[in-house]
Amino acid sequence: MEDLSRYYALLKDPTRRKIIEILGVQEKIGFKELREALGLGVGTVYYHLDMLSDFLEQDKQRKYRLNDRGQVLYRVLKEGSLPASLGISETFSHRLGKWLFLSPLFALTSKPLRFLPVSAAILILGAFGASLAKLEPALFFYFPYPPYTSTSIMLLFIFNWTGLFLFLETLAYAFFKRVGNDLQLFTCLGLAATPLAVFPYIYMAVPKILGSLSPSYSELEMIRQGVLVILQIWSLLLVSAAFCHGKGLRLDKGILASLTAIYLNMAVLFLLGRFT
């Protein structure tokens, strides 16, 4: 039999358990009816369906139903048997993943208007911070001593994240045939910008915090770059989660999208001669 640990990992999520229960009882259901039963946004429902894609199938009317492996998953759910050792390890990894990807927060964006002001505030905070620290924002990167005015720096920060939104929208349609749910994706991306929006303030704070140690300029830059690398990695994870929740895709596809974005970001900067 297939490794049951995968079943347990999938069934850890209450939404996926409910989907399996609904399909196990009703045998098949349309997307609209399933969404109404779950009370979740389009992107969130698509995300969980994509996570369960190996266990589902659709008939000619595009209604979802459990395949043979899905029936096994349903039986595992009904039996409710979970080895203690497996439960401990999965609980730890599950909590770690939630912390890294801020999944509970992104799940709440199924009603994006609630969080849209927060996302906008984060982008404004990042734009103002970049202007104040005199850092040129280049999406996932920053460069000191920009040849721009403060207003231009602020607009550039907003433009970068708006451009990322448009790129992910295009990617979702071109490769995954996902359309709509634009507002949730934009809201999620605003939240995903938090680490890089905070970096300019850390950049300015480092010399003050380490002032008593009298670090050299090179030491300050090394510390700043180290912090930036950490925040870049976290931002990549958050952009992946934003793409998943905004377009209802599995995390592996979200990571692929965010890696594509940063590789293109680097390629453009190389062409512009920003990396020497």
The whole-number pLDDT of residue 207 equals 92
Domain with CATH 1.10.10.10 in the chain: 4-99
The whole-number pLDDT of residue 5 equals 56
Q: What is the pTM of this model?
A: 0.78
Closest Cα partner for 198 from 144, 243, 133, 254?
A: 133
Q: 3-class SS at 209?
A: helix
The whole-number pLDDT of residue 41 equals 76
The whole-number pLDDT of residue 168 equals 96
> What parts of the chain have a pLDDT lower than 50?
1-2, 82-92
Q: What is the CA radius of gyration of the chain?
A: 22
In which residue are the tokens 């002032």 written?
A: 211
The whole-number pLDDT of residue 89 equals 44
- Say which residues have a Cβ less than 8 Å from residue 204's Cβ, sequence separation at least 6: 132, 133
Instruction: Write out the DSSP string of 102-152.
Output: THHHHHGGGSGGGTHHHHHHHHHHHHHHHHHHTEEEETTEEEES-SS-HHH
Is CATH 1.25.40.10 what the domain over 4-99 is classified as, yes or no?
no
CB atoms within 10 A of CB 17: 16
Burial of residue 149 (CB within 10 Å: 0-12, 13-18, 19+) is: exposed
The whole-number pLDDT of residue 275 equals 80
Take residue 180 and report the two structure tokens written for it.
């709509």
